[in-house]
Amino acid sequence: MSERNTEISDLEQVILETASGPKKVSSDAGSVEQHSLSDLIKAEKYLASKEAAKGNGIGIKLSKIEPDGTL
């Protein structure tokens, strides 16, 4: 597994943990606020797109279009 795939997997784990926990917690010692889920999802999509762009393909699939049925 590449380092990028590990980063994406780690980010997926963070998203799951963030979704299951509170957004903000306050106590006598201070307060802590997590990143929003939308920001984490955007970061995951960004890392996934960077990984996909590094592939060997050109990102275009060519196929022959044939009509279904008879003319």
The answer, yes or no, to whether residue 1 has pLDDT greater than 60, is no
| Predicted TM-score (pTM) above 0.85 | no
3-class SS of residue 63? coil
Per 3-state DSSP, what percentage of the chain is helix, strand, and coil (rounded to 5)? 50, 10, 40
CA 64 to chain centre: 32
Nearest-angstrom CA–CA distance, 7 and 40 = 12
pLDDT digits (tens, 9 = 90+) for 8-61: 678 788 888 877 878 888 988 889 888 787 888 888 888 888 877 777 766 677
- Asked if 26 contacts 58 with a C-beta cutoff of 8 angstroms, the reply is no
